[in-house]
Amino acid sequence: MTAPSNITHAAPQEQRFLVLFDFDETIINENSDDAVLNALPGQQLPDWLKNSYREGHYNEHMQRVLAYMAEQGVSKNSIHSAVENIPPTPGLLNLLQYLQSHLQDFELVVISDANMYFIETWLERAGVRHLFRKIFTNPASFDAAGRLVLLPFHSHSCSRCPENMCKQVILREYLADRQKERGGAPFQRVFYIGDGANDICPSLVLGPRDTAFPRRDFPMHRLLVEMQQSQAAKFKANVVPWASGGNIP
């Protein structure tokens, strides 16, 4: 992701490139909702709770999981520690270190269907929270009783996405807002780094100058390969699969 050398560096508020990151299994090497179950006494959910999940309603399911964890006496400190101990995806901290040294060119944003408490806790622990201009994710905070309360991010009408979040809606609104704030100047290029099926929808916003970076052999990658093989699908962006942060040029 090396900046072209023939373009003069822009002022910090006018970065030329936007880099969007998913969180689970992209910045971190696990699903944070799964990793936090390590804080449970038995480190797993009862079958009745596992089986309560309905397709497209994962946010509701996770609300029940967090309520169950509170009922089992799992403390805020235990959840905090479980999140902090999630390993980064190989090479991702090196990529962030590179981007930190080029923040005059790159604006960084997280768009994730995890939650704000998990993401901010992990990014703070890794020392990289300050790199991200914005985090779009589901609200989550501890109430007076010590229970982590999770809410949906928004409602939308996209049939492809979970009911609590359409990343394409978020990205379209962000690009429009930032263009206004930048005096009408759009980003020269947009880079989207993800792994999951819900990272396909926002990637459809990308144009021919932009790049989608799907994690190799993860759902986003497999679905993009299928789309590229289908003549009916018109995916405009460049596609560069990655196995570690070092594969993202």
Q: Are 31 and 24 in contact (CB under 8 A)?
A: yes
**Hunting for tokens 């946010």 — which residue is that?**
59
Tell whether residue 113 is among the known ligand binding residues. Answer: yes
- Buried b / exposed e over 103-136, threshold 16 CB at 10 Å, is eebbbbbbbbbbbbbbbbbbbeebebeebbeebb
Q: Are 95 and 248 in contact (CB under 8 A)?
A: yes
The question of whether 105 is a catalytic residue gets the answer: no
Tell whether residue 22 is among the known ligand binding residues. Answer: yes
Tell whether residue 199 is among the known ligand binding residues. Answer: no
The catalytic residue among 24, 105, 199, 210 is: 24
Across the strands, what pairs with 111?
136
Instruction: Tell me the CB-side half-sphere exposure of residue 170, using CA atoms within 13 A.
Output: 26
Rounded-to-integer distance, Cα 40 and Cα 70, Å: 9
Contacts of 125 (CB under 8 A, 6+ apart): 83, 84
Tell whether residue 177 is among the known ligand binding residues. Answer: no
Q: Is 204 exposed, middle or buried (0-12, 13-18, 19+ CB in 10 A)?
A: middle
The question of whether 210 is a catalytic residue gets the answer: no
Tell whether residue 195 is among the known ligand binding residues. Answer: yes
Residues classed as catalytic: 22, 24
Residue ranges for the known binding site for substrate are 33, 113
